[in-house]
Amino acid sequence: MIALVFSYEVHDAAEFERVYGQDGEWAEFFRDGRGYIGTELLHDVETPTRYLVIDRWESLDAYNSFVAAHREDYMRRVDDTRFHYDSELRFGTFETV
């Protein structure tokens, strides 16, 4: 299993949670992807504007195959949802050991 981990600074928590939460727009998009396990949204209790998003997939190949097969829609969603946060930092892609 792999986990793609992102940190976000947001200005509208409710809207961000709606789009990036475990039942949000991104999770709904990924849901039909072969190998998609789920999305976890974590809210920082010490810094209220900070969130972590963790997308889990069975393998890096499963994630890459999904992105390649849905490239146009994926990039459109990236552009359409960019205004929901002030900054995004991708921590990396982590593998279960």
Residues 6+ apart with CB under 8 A from 85: 8, 9, 10, 11, 16
Which pLDDT score is estimated for 55? 98
Q: Domain range spanning residue 16?
A: 2-92
Domain tally, the chain: 1
- Give the pLDDT confidence of 25-34 residue by residue, as tens digits: 999 999 999 9
Q: What share of the chain is helix, strand, coil (3-state, %, to 5)?
A: 40, 35, 25
Q: Is the residue at 10 inside a domain?
A: yes
- Model confidence at 36, in pLDDT bands (50, 70, 90)? very high
Q: Is the residue at 28 inside a domain?
A: yes
Report the CATH number that the domain containing residue 45 is assigned in CATH.
3.30.70.100
- Give the pLDDT confidence of 8-24 residue by residue, as tens digits: 999 999 999 999 999 99
Q: Is the residue at 33 inside a domain?
A: yes
Which pLDDT score is estimated for 25? 95
Mean pLDDT over 75-81 rounds to 93
- Give the pLDDT confidence of 38-74 residue by residue, as tens digits: 999 999 999 999 999 999 999 999 999 999 999 999 9
Which pLDDT score is estimated for 38? 98
Q: Is the residue at 26 inside a domain?
A: yes
Q: Is the residue at 23 inside a domain?
A: yes
Q: Is the residue at 72 inside a domain?
A: yes
Q: Is the residue at 97 inside a domain?
A: no
Q: pTM score, two decimals?
A: 0.93
